Structure 1
Amino acid sequence: MQFGIFSVGDVTPDPTTGRTPTEHERIKAMVAIARKAEEVGLDVFATGEHHNPPFVPSSPTTMLGYIAATTERLILSTSTTLITTNDPVKIAEDFAMLQHLADGRVDLMMGRGNTGPVYPWFGEDIRQGIPLAIEKYALLHKLWREDVVDWEGKFRTPLQGFTSTPRPLDGTPPFVWHGSIRSPEIAEQAAYYGDGFFANNIFWPKEHFQKLISLYRKRYAHYGHGTPEQAIVGLGGQAFIRKNSQDAVREFRPYFDNAPVYGHGPSLEDFTEQTPLVVGSPQEVIEKTLAFRDSFGDYQRQLFLMDHAGLPLKTVLEQLDLLGEEVVPVLRKEFAALRPAGVPDGPVHPAAVTSVKEEV
């Protein structure tokens, strides 16, 4: 089981001080957070992709390449890569290059994004979101697996005798997750290719995501990739942790109440009841996360959102200390004990596995 964090890279005022970090400060903070994640023993750091204020991560591979040079074990991923508005040729090249630089410690999550104006900025039509995602990923999948590609589709110019360079490291493309919060077509796409399905369940009740994950598992088996239980599933989560619940709630409430993503909506208490958000002690985070298995079955990757809503860097780093030292070790032990034989571990590139063994 892999544990990690994902960041959306928002630049949000701290409601307790009124101060808004600069873009430079926020970018540097994301790098510090990734390095801290490795330091405390987490497995994955994932960055979002946005092309509009108040977000900064418009170039995920640039950021992940920099982080790769300053880490040794951390898997570097995205959350998400916008398959709809990026050129598959450029995705193929950028992530293969990152694979080589990071010795295989790379995967990525495909997504359509949730910002409508991005589509026309990159010459696309949001009404074609699903067809764009399906066609563009089909090309990307082909580019990583065939040395010479002839291809023609609806949304880009044809390719004739094209070779994407560099080729994937040791002939093994980066593992792909397909991220979705609402689209059964994306669950079907993940199942068709035998890829991972990441249900970013942080805002909606679990019943919605149970349907998506169940569909993905059934279709994964239908396409002959394994049993439903062997399908590769990832989940989102949110936590704010202090030694005791009262301190956590008191400290986090002003951030929750003013954050653009959920401020002025449901109360903190209602939101924590209906979604994966936990504001409390390490034990409360452990108990709620373990309960995900009851709702969704055994799964391979758990990513937490920890650095949003204007939380200062110092506070985020303290959160990561608690997550890495008091929460994740218990979760690793408990999930491992519960996992049946035959359920696979989280995906890791063979070169990354070899690299870690050599270091040991």
Structure 2
Amino acid sequence: MKTLDIQNYRLRLPRTARPVLDGVDLTVDAQETVALVGESGSGKSLTSRSVLGLLPAGATTEGTIRVDGDDVLTMNPDQLRRLRTGTAAMIFQDPRAAINPLRRVGDFLTESVRLNTGMSESAATARATEMLEAVGLTSAALRTYPGRLSGGMLQRVMIAATLMGDPALILADEPTTALDVTTQAEVVSLLGDLQERFGTGLLFVTHDLGLAAAISDRVYVMYAGRIAETGTAEALFSRPRHPYTAALLHSTPRLDAPRARLAAIDGRPPGLQDELAGCPFAARCPLASDLCGRQAPVLLPVAGEPTHRASCHHSDRTAEVFADA
């Protein structure tokens, strides 16, 4: 059984011309790290929040989202509460926005598990102490207010909070964005160690391609609410088969690149009021043909690589166009 199994998921908001998320298929196995990458506004965070049933007001959905075998989209409020305090948990991007600055860290860690599982105060405190030690902090943090902790320490507290309910799945929504480079590396290493220790699956949402390549087993590239390409990290970053993936890699700054203007992807992503008859990337794609504008491509296996799939009518030509990237 997969820890996370999203199948043909569509999410539509009021007064939009197209679905915000359109036919998303995504899976995470136990102890597997899966990265979800793409530009801002592509639907990455909304996908991860949907896993916890955190949907925008007025949203309508189709498809299935199963966490440890249970369909999130059919859960009632009590079931969702148990999901969020046990089976799955999220590490948010900015820990200072996620933790109440007026309450001590110990209250933040123990309140939810006590209210939703009936755990006693002493047992919850013992669990919180264990989880703080697991992330490299001491029990002294329980009595500390968030404002006295650094950004890196607060993110460790957030990670400890996700572990309180012994989750099968952790959703990390760009958890290193607000941190300096050294602290980013520490947090990423910590997540890997904890994942191996506790046996959790990890969905890591990021716009940092280098980070995704370094930490993930598999990668999904998202564009305009659709999966453009997916495969192992090695295959996807060394042999991209979707022009969008290749263009993202081409525009990534490199220390060994010649001094010149940074490459960029021309144009802009389609807005939610733009109806899409064909490929959503067609207007920005150097390979686009009339077919691309008329017919949406299907996510299909790349020849010779059954686990590598791309949603492009001309995936066989991507390598030649970006040969100098």
Larger Rg: 2
TM-score, normalised to structure 2, is 0.36
As a proportion of its length, which structure holds more strand?
A: 2
What is the TM-score with the length of structure 1 in the denominator?
0.33
Question: Quick check: which one's helix share is greater?
Answer: 1
